[in-house]
Amino acid sequence: MEIFGPTIQGEGALAGVRTHFIRFGGCPYRCTWCDSMFAVDPKSVSENAIWGDPEGIAHQLRGLKPARWVTLSGGDPVIWDLMPLVRLIAPKYFLAVETEGAMWRDWILDCSVVTVSPKPPSSGMADKLNHNVLMHYASNPISIKVMKVVVFDERDLDFARQLHDKYKGFKFFLTPGTPQGMPDAATKWHINQRLCWLSERVLELDDMLDVVIIPQLHVLAWGTKRGV
C-alpha cells in the first residue's frame, strides 16, 4: 500500500526509533477503531495497491534516506509470503513486523522484533483470539517478542491482564486507544486523557509491574497524517 521513511516508530519496543515502513494491504480483522482501513478494506486495497516484486521494493528502500530498521506493517503483513522480500532486505536492515497474531509465517523468524497485537473487546474482534497461534509465537526463537494491547476501557484492560498472565515470554506494552474520525486537536486531547486514566489504573495493579505504557507517538507528533 505504501513505502515511506525514514520516520520514527510510534509504538511498542522501538518507539522513537528511526525506521522505514512497508505497509501491506489485507487483513482478516475489521476492528471498529482501525486506523489504517485503507490497507484493510478490500475495495480500497484493490483500488490503491502498488503491486511490485521483492527487487522493486528493495530498490525503493534504497532510494530513501538511510535508516537501520524496516518495519513491515499493514493491514497484516503475515497474510503474505514475504520470505523472498525478507531474505533480500534482511542483510541490509534490522526487520520488525507488526501483526495481530492470527497467523504464522516462517519468515517471521528472520525479524529482529516481532510485535503481536491481539485485539481487545473494544475492537469487536476479541472472539477471534487464537491461543494456538499465540503459543506458536511464544514458543519460537524470536530475538525480541512484544505483545501490545490497545486499551480503550476497563474491559480492554481486563483482557490485557489475562494475556499478560498467560504469556510470560513477551515484553508487554499497553497503548491508550486512539479515537478515529476527530480533528487532530481533539484526537490528541482524548489520547492524553486516556493515557492518564490507563497509567493511574495500571499503577494500582501489582500484577503488571513490568508493563510499559506508551501512546501512539506518531499521532501526537503529526496527527492522522499518512506517510509519517
115-133 pLDDT, tens digit per residue, is 999 999 999 999 999 999 9
In a domain, 217, yes or no: yes
**CA-wise closest residue to 33 among 121, 134, 129:** 121
In a domain, 137, yes or no: yes
Per-residue confidence (pLDDT) for residue 134, from 0 to 100: 96
> Chain-centre distance of CA 95, in angstroms?
13
Per-residue confidence (pLDDT) for residue 224, from 0 to 100: 84
In a domain, 103, yes or no: yes
pTM: 0.95
- Which structural domain, as residue segments, surrounds residue 163? 2-222
Beta strands across the sheet bearing 171-176: 2-8, 18-23, 69-73, 94-99, 113-116, 144-151, 171-176, 212-213
In a domain, 152, yes or no: yes
- Cα–Cα distance for residue pair 42/38, rounded to 1 Å: 8
Sequence-ordered list of residues with C-beta below 8 angstroms from that of 2, at least 6 positions apart, any chain: 21, 22, 23, 50, 226, 227
In a domain, 28, yes or no: yes
End-to-end Cα spacing for the chain:
14
Per-residue confidence (pLDDT) for residue 204, from 0 to 100: 97
- Cα–Cα distance for residue pair 156/29, rounded to 1 Å: 17
Task: Report the pLDDT averaged over residues 75-91.
Answer: 96
Task: Report the pLDDT averaged over residues 11-18.
Answer: 96
In a domain, 228, yes or no: no
Task: Report the pLDDT averaged over residues 19-37.
Answer: 95
pLDDT above 70: percentage of residues in the chain: 100
- Cα–Cα distance for residue pair 67/94, rounded to 1 Å: 9
In a domain, 227, yes or no: no
In a domain, 35, yes or no: yes
Query: Which CATH number does the domain housing residue 31 bear?
Result: 3.20.20.70
**pLDDT-based confidence at 12, cuts 50/70/90?**
very high
Side chain identity, residue 144: I
Side chain identity, residue 122: S
Contact status, residue 40 vs residue 26, Cβ threshold 8 Å: yes
Domain count, the chain: 1
Residue 82: strand, helix, or coil: coil
CB atoms within 10 A of CB 59: 11
pLDDT at 205 over 90: yes
Per-residue confidence (pLDDT) for residue 28, from 0 to 100: 93
> Chain-centre distance of CA 154, in angstroms?
21
Where helices occur in 70-151 by DSSP H, the ranges are: 83-89, 131-139
